[in-house]
Amino acid sequence: MRIAYPKSFLKLLLIGFALIILPLLFAFGNAALYLDNLADKSRATVTNSVLATRASRSMVEQLTMMERSARQYFVLHDGQLLENFSRSHDQFKRTLAQLSNLPIGQTQQDALHDLITKESALYDEVITTSVDTINTKQVIAEFIDLSTLAQHIVVENNQLIDQQAMALAKTTELTQKKLVSQALTLLPVALLVAIAITFLVAQPIRQMDAAIRRLGEGDYHEPISIDGPGDLHNLGERLDWLRSQLEEVDQQKQRFLRHVSHELKTPLTAIREGSELLKDEIGGSLTPQQKEIAGIMQESSLRLQKMIENLLNYTAVQYQKPQLKFETLQLVDLIKQILAEYALTLTSKSIVIRLDFSDTQMMGDHEKLHTVFDNLISNAIKYTPASGHIKISVKPRDDFAVFEIHDGGPGVIAADKARLFDPFYRGNGVYESLVSGSGLGLSIAKEYVDAHGGEITLLASEHGAHFRVRLPLRPESLKIGNVEAIST
């Protein structure tokens, strides 16, 4: 399923940023709302507690002042004391009215109503009854009852304040839990959105990286399509256009190589045959100097023929699957046959071949394995100096035939190791790398070894180049993949 992307990469980033920030903004807004409600509750609780405490203290004080004024009035019969008693009564009523307006429980409301009723009755009794006939002890006892009732109301107010404080603490704890739970819910949501946006952003970039990597590796067959914003999709279309252009250029190169190789092969055959006739003195005897020149011509024609054959083999490998004609091979005999072909060169350079052979019989394609070992041996001879030595070993090991060759040349420099088996790669110097010449020998060798299900590697060595080839001994142990094997 194709993902619907916006038209530009910038728009995708802005949408992603918005989707990531929205859950966080919601969390911050919700937290601010919770905290604002909590602050309002805290403010109301503190205000009511202060008013209730202040009114309760004022109520007790006014009741005490009323009792003191009444006692003094009963003793001194002074009208000013009665006025003080009346003022305290008015202040007492206002204080009880404030308490009644506060958010208190029904029990406290009933107690306040009882207190107001009893205090009003006592006030009327003190005001209307003559001081000579009033029952002083009874009045004082009623004041004591009022004080007890007032103290009870004060205690209940304190308990109510404590309950409101506990309720506020529970509300605070509940709010904290809600905020934590909200954060634990929204943060993963924001994280998932961030991961999704990252995937949407990274996917077209990965596709472009893979496409460019394939182009760099010379794979021009798979079309390039970038699933992404409009501008990146357009860039993918330009890359696909570049792929098609490179594919056409590559095909032209391959056609050129095939045509040139075939065109050169015919005159080269004539040159080689002519040099061999001269060397064999068919046209007449030659002087030593002429023989040397004829030998140089023959050796150069052989080298040129080998380079042309490598070009033909390379183009064949590029355009069709290698078809292997399996037959029973004596690997030691094959190596000895190749060494015999270079006997003249080995003698002229006084190169010593140190052999470590064990009888090794395997199933393989004779022609292609001849090409593999011929390339490795010719490279070793080429880069081994005069009077040097080359070590060659052939042994069976764990259902594999293992061929190793270690020359006495300068070896492979570090800069060439990574691209040693790349086609046409020649290295940084003619005598510092094993990939001089056409640069196809090792590439073709690797193609044929891979077709046999084996591997060719360059081993670490302090001096000289040390190659190892591992080939399966039997066809049933081959890992051919797409290679078509033909048993004979």
Q: Which of 380, 400, 381 is nearest to 479 (CA)?
A: 400
Which pLDDT score is estimated for 314? 62
Angstrom CA distances, 257 to 260, 265, 424, stand at 5, 12, 12
**Integer Cα distance of 445 and 455 in angstroms:** 10
Residues composing the chain:
488
Phi and psi at 478, nearest 5°, equal -75, 145
Please list the residues that pair with 356 across neighbouring strands.
393
One-letter amino acid at 427 equals G
Site of tokens 């205000």: 47
CATH architecture, domain defined by 321-487: 2-Layer Sandwich (3.30)
Query: pLDDT over 90 for what percent of the chain?
Result: 10
Which pLDDT score is estimated for 483? 45
Domains of the chain by residue range:
9-200, 228-320, 321-487
Which pLDDT score is estimated for 4? 63
pLDDT over 60 (residue 434): no
- For the stretch 245-267, pLDDT in tens is 888 887 777 677 666 666 666 67
- For the stretch 172-198, pLDDT in tens is 888 888 778 877 777 787 778 778 777
Which pLDDT score is estimated for 487? 44
CATH architecture, domain defined by 9-200: Up-down Bundle (1.20)
Angle at 445 between CA 442 and CA 446, to 5 degrees: 90
Average pLDDT, the chain: 79
Which pLDDT score is estimated for 60? 85
Please list the residues that pair with 487 across neighbouring strands.
326
Query: pLDDT over 70 for what percent of the chain?
Result: 84
Kind and range of the H or E run holding 55:
helix 9-76
Q: What CATH number matches the domain at 228-320, 3.40.50.2000, 1.10.287.130, 3.40.47.10, 1.20.1510.10?
A: 1.10.287.130
Q: Which residue spans within 301-443 are E strands per DSSP?
A: 323-330, 352-357, 361-365, 389-397, 400-406
Which pLDDT score is estimated for 274? 76
Sheet holding 323-330, edge to edge: 361-365, 323-330, 484-487
Q: Which of 249, 257, 294, 256 is nearest to 275 (CA)?
A: 294
pLDDT over 50 (residue 481): no
